[in-house]
Amino acid sequence: METQTKLQKKENSYVERACREIKGFRKLYEDIDEKMCISDLSRSTTANYCRRLAQLSLEFGRLPQDISDKEINKYLANLARQSKTPSLSTFKFTVYGLRFCFRLLGLKDRVVQLPVLKHKSKLPVVLNHAECRAVFHASEQLKHRVLLSLIYSAGLRVGEANRLKICDVDSGRMMIHVRQSKGKKDRYVPLSPLMLEGLRKYVIACRPVDFLFNGCKPGSPLSINGMQSVLHEAVKKCKLQKRITLHTLRHSYATHLLEFGMDIVTIKELLGHERIETTMVYLHVAMPTRSNLFSPFDRLYLKS
């Protein structure tokens, strides 16, 4: 689970290839990396931008600024025609990468030629209570059961679970300290008493060091790819048909809190959202709790 997939290895080699094969790309890559570091953008964002720019440069054998608008638009159109989610992600990061690159080079006229990305309003996938229990119990390894349960029980992002350390779990205060998450912010979330019991059994049995969930290498955390593989195997075993990711557990956490009566502002703080509008999407997902709600279809067949 710790090894990278063939696709990921191939994508990571794009930048290396471009540095070797495209004259001037190494300097451009270093300038972009330096600027993004100063701008305090995440490493994953930097990697995505540079990878897509490398793919573009390798496709045309030239630096991005030397590729015509017509050629770029045709390239983007081909990406947009592909319907699969990874392709849409490739399109998005190619556009954003080009915008960042052209701004860095002072090519403001070229920035406006790029298409405006429309935000697609999609409701998150949410598991019901029975599906959650099934996923948590599907894994044979205690470590994996505790990992998935903890992500849900605390509403963690995958990167937060990945970086969580043993010392971040405060059983005295029954809180979990989530450090330097999205937006470089810390927050505390409640530690479930039931979750604490599972964590204690896990720590005694697996003896993690430093990080709560260790990877194969000493002193390293379980990789995000490893975590995704844990969930994939659990979902496969449960034979669930929903499109489930690790973030689905976080969506389910927020939705279930709302259904159990917690107010939206408190949920916003627990999730670490910057804007209340981000949290309000769960209002459209949560099942109504008012007992007098019904479908008119049922009333059509009631005996008068």
In the set 182, 187, 232, 237, the catalytic residue is 182
Task: Please choose, from the candidates 100, 29, 110, 108, the residue with its C-alpha nearest in 3D space to the C-alpha of residue 67.
Answer: 110
Mean pLDDT for the stretch of residues 114-123: 71
In the set 144, 157, 256, 268, the catalytic residue is 157
Domains, the chain: 6-111 (no CATH), 129-284 (1.10.443.10)
pLDDT of residue 234: 96
Q: What is the pLDDT of residues 59-77, one digit of tens each?
A: 999 999 999 999 998 998 8
- Using CA atoms, how far apart are residues 278 and 271, in angstroms rounded to an integer? 10
- More confident of the two residues 7 and 172: 172
User: Residue 250 catalytic?
Assistant: yes
User: Residue 247 catalytic?
Assistant: yes
User: Residue 133 catalytic?
Assistant: no
pLDDT band at residue 5 under the 50/70/90 scheme: very low
- Using CA atoms, how far apart are residues 292 and 178, in angstroms rounded to an integer? 40
- Using CA atoms, how far apart are residues 156 and 150, in angstroms rounded to an integer? 8
Full-model pTM: 0.70
Q: What is the pLDDT of residues 203-216, one digit of tens each?
A: 999 999 999 999 98
